[in-house]
Structure 1
Amino acid sequence: MSHPHPELSAPGPLPDGGVRVVALGGLGEIGRNMTIIEHAGKLLIVDCGVLFPEEHHPGVDLILPDFDYIEDRLDDVVALVLTHGHEDHIGAVPFLLRRKPDIPVVGSQLTLALVEAKLKEHKIAPFTLGVKEGDTEQLGPFGCEFIAVNHSIPDALAVAIRTPGGTLLHTGDFKMDQVPLDRRITDLRAFARLGEEGVDLFLVDSTNAEVPGFTTPERNITPAIERVFHRARRRIIVACFSSHVHRVQQVLDAAEESGRKVALVGRSMVRNMGIAAELGFLRVPDGILVDLGRLAQLPEDEQVLVCTGSQGEPMAALSRMANRDHKIEVGDGDTVVLASSLIPGNENAVYRVINGLTRLGADVVHKGNALVHVSGHASAGELLYCYNIVRPRNVMPVHGEWRHLVANGDLAVATGVPQDRVVYAEDGVVVDLVDGVARVAGAVDCGYVYVDGSSVGGTTETLLKDRRILRDEGFVTIIVVRDSSTGKVAAGPEIQTRGFAEEERVFDNVRPRLDAALEEARQNGVTDTHQLQQVIRRTVGSFVGNKLRRRPMIIPIVIDA
């Protein structure tokens, strides 16, 4: 648990007729998107995603939003609205529904299919409500209208939320590709109509707010992928997100044209593409998809593999191939395509994979040397268009790190939104819309919740700090046997180390100090085991810090005999 702003107190009661907005994730970070909308005593949740751990989260599998803010109010939740099917927007749904399985889940056809497959693994049967662009639904006091937006996954939606206290428009993740592969464009006519009606609070995707101009259309990638297929001598391995239907479609089309067969590698890739094909969002040419065993029997210049691991995830197929820890052995003449952008924080892991594959002789094609990926988010030029079309009374940048949020706010101001009507918030900061004005009203506790194996929420920052010390500094164990009748040291100290380059005999120099410190403690009447352990910890810690310039974990053990 953490309080995002110590200078902010807990919010007071929501004024009558007001609308309260609290983000439990997605502000000040890329991922973990979850926003609570409150009006008339009821709650509407928009998205419920996960954040993927970085190097300073050793042992952590996923990071969830902190549900404590709504823990006592789950009966007030009228629905969970999902804007699209990416993990950073739907990945935490099973963990929320564990607490209250009957919360209605609202989303588009593909989004719900992906969520239902995920919930099935958790043995949760949700109550779902399918919607499409143009639909309206009354969810408690919230009148929700769903609007088509273009993104890097099909069937994404923005949502307009009408209440007596004001109208909110949440874009979700979006861009304005004018020639999308699925011909489904962002519905700017709906945005303009809502602008005419009056949008009191515009919650806008900030991810690419620092990027000038317009995001490159997905269609522009096709020539680069086709060139890869035409020049490849052996196998082609394409790594992308397991939800990137458009990219897989381009690979299937290129494979069909070049006479190659395709195998999908990885459980999530197989599952998601199966769902997309079944619902008609992925067109699979006849006979193009084969299983991995059948693919291996074909000539290498007829093979294409589509796998996960484009972010350098250590257990993903591509990383294991780079480390020669996979049944697919990458070698000279193979072509590997990383068809995704770098998520901040993953750069080192991705470059390790690129270097490993290159060392094995592969030709590695990535965003840095070819146009094999474009962003799924609106750049500054597109955001300016939206502000001019919607003309919102208040703006709250969402979905981004601080630099993205501020850049987005600057764009809003450039189009005429008053500076004091742009609200910057982080996770846990409470924003109230009252009488047409949005203002920060306080803050609530809102920290990271770690999924660590079978544990959810049990991992703390203290535990992670211990893991980082073990990983980076090693540990020292000191065992001392004490005569229970005299209090004198009967055996030891025995010192064992792990994670040290130095040989253990370097610690011979600290044993006399330990003997002296323990004897002094005995003469001073110290008999408590814990206090003796502290004496050992201080003595060894001082020695290691001064002589070896290390700060390892020190584990003293005192045994009475």
Structure 2
Amino acid sequence: MVKIIPLGGMSVTKNMFMYETDEEILLVDCGIGFPDETMLGVDLLIPDTTYLENSKKRIVGMLLTHGHDDHIAGLPYILPKLPEFPMYASRLTAAFAAQRMKEFGMNRKLTIIDDERGVRLGQFIIESIRVTHSVPDARHFFITTPEASIYHGSDFKFDLTPVDNIRPEFQKIATMGRRGVTLMLSDCLRSERFGFSPSESTLSQRLESEIRDVKGKVIFTIMSSNVHRIQQAVDAAIKFGRRVALFGRSIEENVRVAEELGYLTLPSQALVWKKKISHVPDDKLCLIVAGSQGQPGSALVRAAQGEHENIKVRPTDKIIFSSDAIPGNERAVYETIDAFSHQGAEVIYADVEDNGELHVSGHGSQGELMLLMELVRPDYLVPIGGTYRHMVQYRKLASRMGYAQDKVFLLEEGQTIEVKGRREARIGETIPLKNIMVDGLGIGDVGKVVLRDRKQMSEEGILVVIIPVDAQTSQISGSVEIISRGLVYMKESGALLEKAKGTVASTLREFRTPIKEWRTVKDRIKAALEKLFLQELERYPMIIPIIFRM
């Protein structure tokens, strides 16, 4: 039996799949996810590898499908928790993954997978299939074991006129299908969209038309791994005599890696160092800036807020968003667009009428999804890489292709797939999965309680009560001090704070001295102050009593 476990859960991001046999484990992808607005202070999310870490089975290797962060950027956080094993990827994907690990001081070997010969990892025989996506060098994998044959079809579309002229391997996909496929995992993110996704190459003329008559700077933002789109923006800028500057660590690093490997061409005479753009007239500048998802602290967001030291936005400038918001990031993206609009600049984005052609998706629409079903012809289907509504629409497409509903598995969080033999698959056990949150340097140490406390502090404020105590006698040795943040303005709320001090003093008098049960004292003070501020302000601040031993 082969058990398939989505360790990152069934979401658009945080992709990581575990293929488990009786003795061995194969991993596919290791990505990050993005926190929602309720996860205050959280930087990113990573897959929950508890089940994997507790397994005694041998990890024979890891495959990486493509170079997007939601498929590779979890490596620096996950690999230190696991034993050494070989990793395989295409050339550009391996380079992007190596760069992510290098940023954390890691130097793990990545092997370029042989697309002609494939690779054997323990019981698993892997064959790679070239597909097109919004990042070059994407792959699907055909995974076979003595018990099953599985097609792992991560993010893709079928672009017949790609920018690099490297087309999907249709014949190879069909060959896999003729050999027999038990189960196919398939991208489903655009299962709601009719037809076929447009080719990346269709954007060139539109980009040129947007840049042609701009009187100020062109500020172009895109997902940093979209190498082909960056090339098109550079080409359009050069055509109209503009010099190009790169802003944002992710853009700068990905461009450097892609150029070194020959996936990107940037004439040196067309580049200008970002700290020298003030020496170039605005109408001769094109800035390619990271932060298209409205990430806090990104170069784009700082420019939108007027806080970037080099990028000063003027009404003659045009800002071009050449990407869609990842589900969950919509609010951050629109806030960034609003901030640019307030500065008087023209902002072009997908929702503006007739401007949809400034971005084409890297994910296949209904036509591609159904074509992949027809080419592979698996016995069972599992939609992945989308929300639940996308999975439901994918099942409707499968029904049109002749699949019964019980042949299409819509997985809930933690559910697994069990493949038994060449013709049988079913939903298996459910394993517990939780959001593993990365907060600064801490990994997994932010839970529901911490998020609840952060939410309370942000909405209700905080009150710190400092009680001076003699360390020798345990007697109160001075006046109680109260510090308020986010609750009341201390200079204008002296009477209320004095009342709060009186409440604390009254509570302390309820205990015999010397006081020994300080835990009980703290609880009583919190309860008394909570009651006071609820009556006076209808607020419920976080109250932190501190015993200061002197």
**8 A Cα contact 1:252 1:262, kept in partner:** yes
Aligned equivalents of 2:56 and 2:105: distance in 1?
20
Aligned equivalents of 1:547 and 1:437: distance in 2?
65
**8 A Cα contact 1:256 1:285, kept in partner:** no
Is it true that 1:22 corresponds to 2:5 in the alignment? yes
Candidates 383, 389, 400, aligned match of 2:369: 383
Q: Partner of 1:253: helix, strand, or coil?
A: helix
**8 A Cα contact 1:105 1:128, kept in partner:** yes
Is it true that 1:392 corresponds to 2:378 in the alignment? yes
Match of 2:17 in 1: 35
Q: 1:295 to 1:489 in 2, by over 3 A?
A: closer
Question: What is the TM-score of this pair, normalised by structure 2?
Answer: 0.92
Let me know the Cα RMSD of the aligned residues: 2.5
1:115-136 per-residue CA deviation (whole Å, 9 max, x = no partner) reads: 1122223332223221254442
Letter in 1 for 2:250: S
Question: Does 443-452 or 337-346 show the bigger shift?
Answer: 443-452
Match of 1:409 in 2: 395
Q: Partner of 2:65: helix, strand, or coil?
A: coil
Deviation, 1:292, is: 2.2
1:115-165 per-residue CA deviation (whole Å, 9 max, x = no partner) reads: 112222333222322125444211111111100111000000000101111
Letter in 2 for 1:205: D
Is it true that 1:164 corresponds to 2:146 in the alignment? yes
**8 A Cα contact 1:167 1:200, kept in partner:** yes
Task: Output aligned runs, 1:300-379, within 5 Å.
Answer: 300-326=282-308, 327-369=310-352, 370=355, 371-379=357-365
Match of 1:118 in 2: 100
Q: Partner of 2:333: helix, strand, or coil?
A: helix
Aligned equivalents of 1:99 and 1:313: distance in 2?
27
Deviation, 1:527, is: 5.1
1:351-408 per-residue CA deviation (whole Å, 9 max, x = no partner) reads: 2221221222211111122221121111223212222332211111111222222222
Consecutive unaligned residues of structure 2, counting only runs of 5 or more, are none
Match of 1:99 in 2: 81
Q: Partner of 1:477: helix, strand, or coil?
A: strand
Task: Output aligned runs, 1:134-533, within 5 Å.
Answer: 134-285=116-267, 287-326=269-308, 327-369=310-352, 370=355, 371-435=357-421, 436-481=423-468, 492-501=479-488, 503-504=492-493, 505-510=495-500, 513-520=503-510, 528-533=517-522
Q: Partner of 1:532: helix, strand, or coil?
A: helix
Q: Partner of 1:433: helix, strand, or coil?
A: strand
Deviation, 1:444, is: 2.0
**8 A Cα contact 2:53 2:82, kept in partner:** no
Letter in 1 for 2:334: Y
Aligned equivalents of 1:410 and 1:511: distance in 2?
65
Identical columns (%)? 35
Match of 1:549 in 2: 538
Q: Partner of 2:252: helix, strand, or coil?
A: helix
Deviation, 1:273, is: 0.9
Aligned equivalents of 2:35 and 2:286: distance in 1?
30
Q: 1:167 to 1:324 in 2, by over 3 A?
A: same
Letter in 2 for 1:210: E
Residues paired across the two proteins, number: 542
Q: Partner of 2:245: helix, strand, or coil?
A: strand
Q: Partner of 1:287: helix, strand, or coil?
A: helix
Letter in 2 for 1:530: R
Deviation, 1:220, is: 2.4
Q: 1:489 to 1:176 in 2, by over 3 A?
A: same
Aligned equivalents of 2:344 and 2:394: distance in 1?
43
Letter in 2 for 1:534: D
**8 A Cα contact 2:23 2:57, kept in partner:** no
Deviation, 1:309, is: 1.1
Letter in 2 for 1:413: S
Aligned equivalents of 1:483 and 1:174: distance in 2?
68
Match of 1:3 in 2: none
Letter in 2 for 1:368: D
Aligned equivalents of 2:349 and 2:468: distance in 1?
59
Aligned equivalents of 2:217 and 2:56: distance in 1?
51
Deviation, 1:511, is: 5.0
Deviation, 1:308, is: 0.2
Deviation, 1:67, is: 1.8
Aligned equivalents of 2:214 and 2:415: distance in 1?
51
Aligned equivalents of 2:175 and 2:250: distance in 1?
39
Is it true that 1:53 corresponds to 2:35 in the alignment? yes
Letter in 1 for 2:440: G
Q: 1:548 to 1:301 in 2, by over 3 A?
A: same
Deviation, 1:266, is: 1.8
Candidates 36, 41, 44, aligned match of 1:62: 44
Consecutive unaligned residues of structure 1, counting only runs of 5 or more, are 1-17
Q: 1:145 to 1:485 in 2, by over 3 A?
A: closer
1:276-309 per-residue CA deviation (whole Å, 9 max, x = no partner) reads: 1221211334622232245432222111111101
**8 A Cα contact 1:19 1:165, kept in partner:** yes
Candidates 58, 74, 86, aligned match of 1:76: 58
Letter in 2 for 1:453: G
Letter in 2 for 1:76: R
Aligned equivalents of 2:532 and 2:440: distance in 1?
36
Aligned equivalents of 2:115 and 2:472: distance in 1?
81
Aligned equivalents of 1:308 and 1:173: distance in 2?
22
**8 A Cα contact 1:488 1:522, kept in partner:** no
Aligned equivalents of 1:486 and 1:153: distance in 2?
68
Task: Output aligned runs, 1:81-92, within 5 Å.
Answer: 81-92=63-74
Letter in 1 for 2:326: I
**8 A Cα contact 2:9 2:414, kept in partner:** no
Match of 1:8 in 2: none
Letter in 2 for 1:471: S
Q: 1:159 to 1:481 in 2, by over 3 A?
A: same
Aligned equivalents of 1:44 and 1:360: distance in 2?
51
Letter in 1 for 2:453: D
1:46-72 per-residue CA deviation (whole Å, 9 max, x = no partner) reads: 000111223222222221112221214
Aligned equivalents of 2:323 and 2:484: distance in 1?
42
